Structure 1
Amino acid sequence: MGTGKTFRHGQILRLVNGERIGNQEELRRRLAAQKMRVTQATLSRDLQELHLVKTQEGYKQASALPEEPTPLPPLARALAEFLLDIRPAENLLVLKTPPSGAQPLAAAVDAAKFAEIAGTIAGDDTVLIITTTRKTRESLQRTIEALVK
């Protein structure tokens, strides 16, 4: 399996260095055109391992970018890439994403380890965040909205 991953990483780098690739879906389609089928979760992991970040000009290697004072935390990056809408409901927070966007966004939310969160559930285009109370949901919602701005 190691050689397949190494080869795939090489192809990803070749694609992003050769042309503007604006999002993961576009990159996934380009790889599929080269007979490389990858899941969105695998592609997300590959981008992280390769230190590729999304810029105005498409994906670039972090090392090739001018130094930023503080890189975006993974949750802010995931929210910027996947979040379409936030819908509050009592102690629940529903995050809407494009198709296949819920899993990577939920993983980033989980990794942020918010004390307010009792649990998260991710479908294809929806992340359900369960908080302990309405008050904790409001606090979490404010935090997430602040990261998006």
Structure 2
Amino acid sequence: MSKHERHNAIRELIAQRPIASQDELRRKLVRRGFDVTQATLSRDIHELRIYKGPGGYALPNGNGHDEQDDLPDVDEVMSSFGLKVKQAQNQLVLVTTAGSAQPVALAIDHEDWPEVVGTLAGDDTVLIICPDQKRATVLAERLEKIIG
């Protein structure tokens, strides 16, 4: 089956009911006849801009199109999932709720802030690399205000 058909199946599965993990989604796809690896599924999730929220995987604005406007707003993501920010020179460690680091990092990356060189997300932690300590401080203050 084609990538397009697989993407449509992923959208349909996520729209039907909450899916808590990639493995659960992969198993559902296999039952539908898609031979999909975890690596392929990870790429699909990224391409479809699917994010993981408290209720499991979700489509941006419920439709899964690739439009930039469909991404959750960084304020929304940070206020929902951000817990605290710690600075270490030109780097920030952003602690999030469990399983939320990747959508938070994605939202930050898509802001194209000059203070951000790049992000690296784990499960509940985002490493944000800034060009220098001064801009890291500016960004830390901005993120702390959003978190509240």
- TM (norm. structure 2) is 0.58
1:44 aligns with 2:28: no
CA deviation vs aligned residue, 1:101-132 (integer Å, no higher than 9, x gap): 45x64444333122223x22526454232242
Q: Percent identity?
A: 21
1:68 aligns with none
Q: Which amino acid aligns with 1:146?
A: K
Of 29, 46, 51, which residue of structure 1 is paired with 2:23? 29
How do 1:53-64 residues align onto structure 2 when only pairs under 5 Å count?
59=58, 62=61
* Compared CA separation, residues 42 and 148, structure 1 to 2 (3 A): farther
Kindly state the Cα deviation for residue 140 of structure 1 after the two structures are TM-superposed: 0.4
Structure 1 unaligned residues grouped into runs of 5+: 65-70
Structure 1 contact 40–100 (Cα < 8 Å) conserved: no
SS of equivalent to 2:114 = coil
Kindly state the Cα deviation for residue 93 of structure 1 after the two structures are TM-superposed: 0.8
2:130 aligns with 130
Structure 2 unaligned residues grouped into runs of 5+: 31-35, 64-69
Aligned residue pair count: 132
* Compared CA separation, residues 112 and 137, structure 1 to 2 (3 A): same
2:2 aligns with 4
Coordinate RMSD, CA, aligned: 4.0
1:87 aligns with 86
- TM (norm. structure 1) is 0.58
Structure 1 contact 116–137 (Cα < 8 Å) conserved: yes
CA deviation vs aligned residue, 1:14-41 (integer Å, no higher than 9, x gap): 21232223xxxx2522232133333435
